[in-house]
């Protein structure tokens, strides 16, 4: 059974939201909570069958008295034309777009030396360019004249992202894009913020990372100040807060929802080595050598 929203019923009644990647994981949790709060939600992703299954599951939980609805629209956010078609279909059906949650994305684990250009480009095209396409189309179609709220889901990449440099670079770019759009689009009454999740456990993520998933999640729990993993519902609550009137004076911000993990530790281990150039010679080097290899007093 899904956790109930902490926000008041009907908070987003008659609002319309697009949630990319809305059929699985974080996107599914965000979509479900928006629906619970009365919002009309359009979920999109590349896989039509999975999207339709998620929509059917969500519809069963909408009370008969609720104005909320969920509509699946397949879309590859890498394609500008497909994003235009998505936004056009939402405008045709609902006549407005109040919220955009850029959650769609994807990556794979690999050190840079083993990463192909094709793999690099695919992740940049999805996580950065896809977000750009969605923001620009929603702005042009509705928000420029009527305002709205955009939330970009990024990642804990503030100290680099070794092992996933492609998504680290893309998410850092989206973090900066968030700040730029918050200023450029302020005269239209558009608020633009980002949410940076820590390590969030979901069945989808476990499946995506295959045998590596269990290792990553078990290790991540020990590196969190909370000593547990986050849940998708903890991200959706943060997103709903930023979409809500409670955040009416918040724009250009990045909210880290990670129990302080980004301040605490990272997963990448550097083995002992002697590859670096020697330190400059002098009394400080001699003192440091003595610190690490004290001479015997005998």
Query: Which pLDDT tens digits describe the chain residue by residue (298 residues)?
Result: 556 899 999 999 999 999 999 999 999 999 999 999 999 999 999 999 999 999 999 999 998 899 999 999 999 999 999 999 999 999 999 999 999 999 999 898 899 999 999 999 999 999 999 999 999 999 999 999 999 999 999 999 999 999 999 999 999 999 999 999 999 999 999 999 999 999 999 887 787 777 777 778 888 898 899 999 999 999 999 999 999 999 999 999 999 999 999 999 888 888 999 999 999 999 999 999 999 888 876 6
* Cα 20 to Cα 73: distance, rounded to the nearest angstrom: 10
* Cα 88 to Cα 212: distance, rounded to the nearest angstrom: 39
Query: What stretch of H or E contains 85?
Result: helix 80-94
CB proximity list for 174: less than 8 A, separation 6 or greater: 102, 127, 128, 131, 152, 154, 194
The position carrying tokens 């281990």 is 269
Task: Provide the whole-model pTM.
Answer: 0.93
Half-sphere exposure of 84 (CA within 13 A, CB side): 3
Identify any residues that bridge with 255 across adjacent strands, giving them in sequence order: 195
Q: Sketch the domain layout of the chain as residue ranges.
A: 16-202+231-260
Q: Which fold has domain 16-202+231-260?
A: Rossmann fold (3.40.50)
Any idea how long the chain is?
A: 298
């Amino acid at each position: 059974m899904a956790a109930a929203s902490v926000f008041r019923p009907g908070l987003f009644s008659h609002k319309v939201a697009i949630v990319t990647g809305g059929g699985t994981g974080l996107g599914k949790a965000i979509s479900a909570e928006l629906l619970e709060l009365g919002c009309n939600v359009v979920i999109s992703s590349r896989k039509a069958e999975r999207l339709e299954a998620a929509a059917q599951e969500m519809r069963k939980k909408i009370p008969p008295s609720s104005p909320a609805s969920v509509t699946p629209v397949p879309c590859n956010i890498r394609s500008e034309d497909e994003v235009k078609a998505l936004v056009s279909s939402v405008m045709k059906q609902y006549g407005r777009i109040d919220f955009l949650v850029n959650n769609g994305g994807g990556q794979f684990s690999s050190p840079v030396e083993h990463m192909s250009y094709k793999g690099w480009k695919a992740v940049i095209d999805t996580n950065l360019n896809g977000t750009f396409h969605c923001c620009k189309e929603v702005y042009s179609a509705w928000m420029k004249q009527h305002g709205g709220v955009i939330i970009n889901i990024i990642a804990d990449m503030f100290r680099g992202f070794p092992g996933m440099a492609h998504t680290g670079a893309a998410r850092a770019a989206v973090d900066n894009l968030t700040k730029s759009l918050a200023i450029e689009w302020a005269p239209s009454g558009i608020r633009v913020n980002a949410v940076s999740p820590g390590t969030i456990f979901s069945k989808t993520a476990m499946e995506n990372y295959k045998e590596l998933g269990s290792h990553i999640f078990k290790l991540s729990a020990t590196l969190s100040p909370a000593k547990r993993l986050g849940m998708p519902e903890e991200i959706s609550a943060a997103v709903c807060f930023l979409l809500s009137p409670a955040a009416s004076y918040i724009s250009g911000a990045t909210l880290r929802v990670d129990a302080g993990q980004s301040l605490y530790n990272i997963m990448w281990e550097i083995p002992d080595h002697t590859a670096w150039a020697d330190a400059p010679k002098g009394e400080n080097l001699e003192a440091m050598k003595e610190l690490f290899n004290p001479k015997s007093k005998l």
